[in-house]
């Protein structure tokens, strides 16, 4: 009861705090605005769902969506008549994926109050629910359990410091028992659940579904003519999702790198001011914006005169990695590194800043010799030269990255096998 009371207080205080923050915070304002008229939006969508099997998939944000996405698309491919109802907690997920073509409806998740949980579940009436990674909503889980709706947690990761495994975590551990099955990404997470005091829950290990997604996306990568022209006869060092600290380091590194190596930089922020700051940081006249290069009909003839190609758009990075020989992944001097798998799948040796410990794939690739942590430009120069000067060392690091992705695919297939009985069961509602 104490756990429940604490949770209720937290939910109401969180909601109040977000509504207050909405007056001066853009993201909070979207969180609030997105939930206005939500019940009407659901009501409008319901008539078209009558008599069809419904799978509700919930993701906190965009990162979790990318883990749920392979499962969603596998369900739609194998069971095309099943409806996918997708919800997000955060605007950063909803705003990007509100028109996602594989979902029959995309909504914000109403706040997890007892009334909202009952109302949402009764209106949507799902036959199956999939929560992704870190989604533990007490009231929704209770309502779904009462209504005997199977709930799966996929791509989950558990760590000893989480509240489930603390001395005060008994009530939270009970929450985990409402899941039909918890698919965890690694054996350590499974062992934590199996040895947790008083916890009885069905678990299975399924590799992170992002590996399936990135493998499929790599096979579908499209040619980028301007980058291909820029790369002609040179090795490309691709720098993805960079921030100012990364770019300061890279500016010094570029000055010391062999002239046969050219650079593609795709900054995390592509506003005019941020791009101007990047150009200023590079302090070179031999850089060109992608949008400018792409408009030059004779770029193929002048491309060799440029050392740096700056990508001033979003969504192209995966397609560009195919042309690379090395990759630097940004974010390692801030909150944490960005997606490294999109580069690893193409066998690019990886470099990134020191803040990567929360990302299992980064830790494992550093340990295996496919990725390299660098704290400054000097260290990046040394790590790079060790690979650039040795064909064997380069091929070893490249193979480590490529094989790592291949060895971790298959999670989607395992999860879909567990969902199959609920996707084929006769609709009774």
Confidence at residue 34, expressed as pLDDT on a 0 to 100 scale: 80
Q: Check: CB of residue 218 under 8 Å from CB of residue 345.
A: yes
**156 pLDDT higher than 80:** yes
| Rounded mean pLDDT, 211-231 | 93
Confidence at residue 21, expressed as pLDDT on a 0 to 100 scale: 81
Residues 173 and 233 reside in one and the same domain:
no
| Rounded mean pLDDT, 199-222 | 92
Confidence at residue 197, expressed as pLDDT on a 0 to 100 scale: 81
Confidence at residue 429, expressed as pLDDT on a 0 to 100 scale: 41
| Rounded mean pLDDT, 92-121 | 93
Report the CATH number that the domain containing residue 317 is assigned in CATH.
3.40.50.2000
For every residue of 223-266, DSSP letters joined together read P-HHHHHHHTTSEEEEEEEE-HHHHHHHHHHHHHS-TTEEEEEE
CA 396 to chain centre: 27
**Which residues constitute the domain of residue 350?**
217-407
Which range is least confidently modeled, 192-196, 241-245, 341-345?
192-196
Residues 188 and 249 reside in one and the same domain:
no
**250 C-beta neighbours (distance < 10 Å), count:** 25
- In this predicted model, what pLDDT tens digit does every residue of 334-390 receive, in sequence order? 989 999 999 999 999 999 999 999 888 999 999 999 999 999 999 999 999 999 999
pTM exceeds cut of 0.75: yes
Confidence at residue 7, expressed as pLDDT on a 0 to 100 scale: 76
Question: How far is Cα 267 from Cα 264, in angstroms, rounded to an integer?
Answer: 10
Question: How far is Cα 172 from Cα 163, in angstroms, rounded to an integer?
Answer: 7
Residues 190 and 278 reside in one and the same domain:
no
Q: Does some domain include residue 429?
A: no
Return the higher-pLDDT residue of 420 and 166.
420
Residues 250 and 303 reside in one and the same domain:
yes
Residues 16 and 163 reside in one and the same domain:
yes
As beta bridge partners, residue 332 has none
**304 pLDDT higher than 90:** yes
| Rounded mean pLDDT, 188-210 | 91
Residues 225 and 255 reside in one and the same domain:
yes
Question: How far is Cα 273 from Cα 261, in angstroms, rounded to an integer?
Answer: 27
Confidence at residue 14, expressed as pLDDT on a 0 to 100 scale: 79
Question: How far is Cα 51 from Cα 393, in angstroms, rounded to an integer?
Answer: 59
Report the CATH number that the domain containing residue 13 is assigned in CATH.
3.40.50.11720
Residues 235 and 309 reside in one and the same domain:
yes
- Count how many domains the chain has: 2
Q: Check: CB of residue 212 under 8 Å from CB of residue 409.
A: yes
Task: Show the CA angle centred on residue 262, arms to residues 256 and 264, nearest 5°.
Answer: 110
Confidence at residue 428, expressed as pLDDT on a 0 to 100 scale: 43
Confidence at residue 427, expressed as pLDDT on a 0 to 100 scale: 52
Percent of the chain topping pLDDT 90: 73
Residues 232 and 367 reside in one and the same domain:
yes
Residues 186 and 223 reside in one and the same domain:
no
| Rounded mean pLDDT, 304-322 | 94
Question: Residue for token digits 């909503």?
Answer: 137
Confidence at residue 30, expressed as pLDDT on a 0 to 100 scale: 84
Q: Does some domain include residue 377?
A: yes
- In this predicted model, what pLDDT tens digit does every residue of 40-83 receive, in sequence order? 999 998 888 888 899 999 999 988 999 999 999 999 999 999 99
Q: Does some domain include residue 212?
A: no
**1 pLDDT higher than 70:** no
Residues 17 and 161 reside in one and the same domain:
yes
Of residues 341, 350, 143, 330, the one with CA closest to residue 244: 330
pLDDT band of 169, cuts 50, 70, 90: confident
Question: How far is Cα 184 from Cα 188, in angstroms, rounded to an integer?
Answer: 9
Question: What mean pLDDT value characterizes the chain?
Answer: 92
**6 pLDDT higher than 80:** no
Residues 387 and 260 reside in one and the same domain:
yes
């Amino acid at each position: 009861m104490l756990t429940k009371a604490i949770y209720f207080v937290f939910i109401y205080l969180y909601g109040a705090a977000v509504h207050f923050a909405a007056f001066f915070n853009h993201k909070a304002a979207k969180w609030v605005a997105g939930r206005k008229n939500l019940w009407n939006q659901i009501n409008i969508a319901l008539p078209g769902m009558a008599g069809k099997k419904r799978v509700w998939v919930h993701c906190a944000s965009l990162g979790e969506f990318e883990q749920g996405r392979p499962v969603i698309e596998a369900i739609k491919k194998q069971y095309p008549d099943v409806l996918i109802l997708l919800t997000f907690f955060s605007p950063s997920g909803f705003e990007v994926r509100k028109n996602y073509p594989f979902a029959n409806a995309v909504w914000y998740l109403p706040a997890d109050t007892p009334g909202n949980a009952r109302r949402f579940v009764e209106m949507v009436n799902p036959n199956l629910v999939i929560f992704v990674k870190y989604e533990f909503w007490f009231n929704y889980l209770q309502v779904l359990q009462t209504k005997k709706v199977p709930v799966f947690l996929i791509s989950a990761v558990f760590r000893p410091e989480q509240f489930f495994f603390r001395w005060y975590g008994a009530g939270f551990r009970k929450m985990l028992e409402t899941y039909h099955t918890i698919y965890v990404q690694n054996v350590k997470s499974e062992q934590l659940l199996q040895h947790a005091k008083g916890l009885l829950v069905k678990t299975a290990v399924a590799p992170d579904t992002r590996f399936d997604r990135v493998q499929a996306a790599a096979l579908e990568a499209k040619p980028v003519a301007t980058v291909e022209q820029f790369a002609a006869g040179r090795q490309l060092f691709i720098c993805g999702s960079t921030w100012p600290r990364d770019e300061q380091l890279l500016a010094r590194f570029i000055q010391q790198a062999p002239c046969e190596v050219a650079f593609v930089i795709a900054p995390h922020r592509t506003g005019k001011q941020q791009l101007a700051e990047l150009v200023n940081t590079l302090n070179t006249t031999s850089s060109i914006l992608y949008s400018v290069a792409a408009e030059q009909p004779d770029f193929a003839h002048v491309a060799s005169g440029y050392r740096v190609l700056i990508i001033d758009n979003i969504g192209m990075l995966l397609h560009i990695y195919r042309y690379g020989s090395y990759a630097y992944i940004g974010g390692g001097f801030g909150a944490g590194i960005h997606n490294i798998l999109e580069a690893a799948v193409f066998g690019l040796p990886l470099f990134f800043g020191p803040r990567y410990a929360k990302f299992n794939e980064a830790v494992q690739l550093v340990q295996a010799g496919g990725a390299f942590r660098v704290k400054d430009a000097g260290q990046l120069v040394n790590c790079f030269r060790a690979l650039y000067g040795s064909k064997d060392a380069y091929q070893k690091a490249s193979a480590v990255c490529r094989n790592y992705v291949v060895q971790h695919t298959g999670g989607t297939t395992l999860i879909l096998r567990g969902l199959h009985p609920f996707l084929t069961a006769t609709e009774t509602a």
